[in-house]
Structure 1
């Protein structure tokens, strides 16, 4: 039974990671962490090394596949790619039509996720507390930054992909928000929706270079400084709540490449001030329900993962 359930569950985890990475402010790394595959993912990516290249040169496909944990990677990335291609339009639509509900869902998801990540700290000390504070501060500063106008040249898409993928595998730091800061979020969303293959391949090449390099760094930190690293990552998640707060007032706008007015700089406001400042209903009770939904889904995933481990 587990031979069927485990690959299906891993595929769904990939779908969830891809869905999260589409939203500026939510991290696929968060999903990987709370679903218990984070370190396995890092180690699998890290195994794409010189030894793997040597297997490839000798055309030892089975040895190569086992070395890079191919079954794990192919199923997970199939879920991520499926999500990117099928859900990018849905997520974009929800961001435009139901932003409060969507952000509330992710707010609840990240709150409980951060608390669950803190469980992974085996020994608490002053260094761990400092690491958490640093993580919170860094994530808050990143999510408070203002997006910029940038060129659409291939070299810049490559750089944006390389930097964004590093963020995508960090819980709390949103890769898609980094793409937004680079001024390429809408451009790449359009590329996905319009199937602009060249733009997608250049961006993907940047992602490949970035993830192969950065996964080694994070994996090493986990082995050498586990508690400190988990502290920083949980801090990232807490600091990222600044970005996913559901009620925002737009201070500055810009005209996108389609001639539509989009928010450039926003500030968080309290629900009871939201109507007066924006003229839009805060939907507070509804937002609480969606936040609770995100909260409960994480708890369900955690219980399911524990059940499968013990089965």
Structure 2
């Protein structure tokens, strides 16, 4: 019993780390999910839930019962999913209140910390499939990185926080929640909606929050099934693309950039900035080493049944 409670608390802590990352522009919750070892289970479970909901809507009115839907719902790893979601929600509310202002006041050091964190995290998708990279894989990753590098250099817009705009922005930003290297907060910042969203969370603006949540759910439903299918059928190529996404996203975290996102050479408080980057790098290395030792860290295709899924991924991709 104590072990079960400890596991739930640990998963809630994982969710808290993911949620915290989502309020910092440039940091991807998907990247943190990779590091803490729940990425695969969250994506696969979300896919099963969405399929179960689809079966419920399509079968029950036709008198077919809920057997297929029940099978899908039972396939989701609910203990992990619910604990992670609880931790995420709590962390987002707290981080929006306390962490976001601190990160804004110490932007250069905060970006350096997360720059080191994401840089070290590149190892996770790079090594995640257990397959060798060919020259074409490196080329694909570099092309994806170049595209993301350009996109993250686009200046911020000023959007009207009307309900349709908020819902659409949430639908786009939530895709970043499940894509390592893509930051939901950074997308909202680019669209000019980060400050209004943070203000709504701090002020408990339930109308804005509900609109945002609805848009996020629609976006999540449209994207998760695609990502689940890619992980199950093109596992290695998906990780190659993820590596490129994370590499290109490092531009958003470069500590020396101005409000127009122009990159500058190191200047000012260089020593402390580099130290913060080193701390972020070391933290990830330590987490990965601990996870490797205790068998807790899982990359896409890992976890319970991960070897079997990984074998299917390898066989499916080898036939393409």
Q: CA, structure 1 residues 127+2, in 2 after alignment: closer, same or farther (shift >3 Å)?
A: farther
Q: For 2:29 and 2:83, locate their aligned partners in 1 and report how far apart those are by CA, in whole Å.
A: 16
Pairing 1:51-66 to 2, within 5 Å after superposition: 51-52=52-53, 66=74
Match among 267, 287, 291 for residue 301 of structure 1? 287
Instruction: Find out whether 1:14 has 2:15 as its counterpart.
Output: yes
Q: State how far apart, in whole Å, the 2-side matches of 1:59 and 1:135 are.
A: 42
Q: Distance in 2 between matches of 1:5 and 1:134?
A: 43
1:162-241 correspondence runs (5 A): 162-241=171-250
- Contact 2:48-2:72 within 8 A present in 1 as well: no
1:266 pairs with one of 261, 265, 277:
261
Q: Determine the structure 1 residue equivalent to 2:315.
A: none
1:159 to 168, 185, 189: 168
Question: How far 1:135 moved relative to its partner?
Answer: 2.0
Q: Partner of 1:82 in structure 2?
A: 90
Residues 175 and 296 (structure 1), Cα distance of their counterparts in 2 relative to 1, 3 Å cut: same
Long gaps (5+) in structure 1: 251-262, 275-281
Cα deviation digits, residues 274-301 of structure 1 (max 9, x gap):
3xxxxxxx22221222112211221222
Could you tell me which runs of 5 or more consecutive residues in structure 2 were left unpaired when the two chains were aligned.
Answer: 297-320
Cα separation, 2, equivalents of 1:145 and 1:302: 33
Map Cα deviations across residues 120-160 of structure 1 (whole Å, 9 max, x no partner).
Answer: 24121133112211220121122111121222111111111
Contact 1:247 1:269 in 2 (8 A): yes
SS, match of residue 144 in structure 1: coil
2:100 is the alignment partner of 1:100: no
Residue in 2 aligned with 1:143? 152
Contact map agreement 1:147 1:180 (CA 8 A) in 2: yes
With the length of structure 1 as denominator, give the TM-score of the two structures.
Answer: 0.85
Offset at 1:52?
Answer: 4.2
Shift of 1:54: 5.3
* Residue 37 (str. 1) matches residue 38 (str. 2): yes
The CA distance in 2 between the partners of 1:77 and 1:169, in whole Å, is 13
2:128 to 113, 116, 120: 120
Residues in 1 aligned to 2:133 and 2:72: alpha-carbon distance in whole angstroms: 40
Report which stretch shifted further, 1-10 or 50-59: 50-59
Which SS does the other structure have where 1:270 is aligned? coil
The equivalent of 2:255 in structure 1 is: 246
SS in 1 for 2:262: strand
TM-score (norm 2): 0.83
**C-alpha distance in 2 between matches for 1:53 and 1:220:** 16
> What secondary structure, in the 3-state scheme, does the structure 1 residue paired with 2:155 have?
coil
Aligned length: 288
Shift of 1:187: 0.6
Separation of aligned partners in 2, 1:166 and 1:72: 20
| Distance change in 2, residues 1:49/1:87 (3 Å) | closer
Measure the CA separation in 2 of the matches of 1:100 and 1:184. 21
Alpha-carbon offset, residue 50 of structure 1: 4.4
Report deviation, 1:113: 0.2
Q: Which structure has the highest strand share of the two? A: 1
Partner Cα separation in structure 2 for residue 63 and residue 225 of structure 1: 24
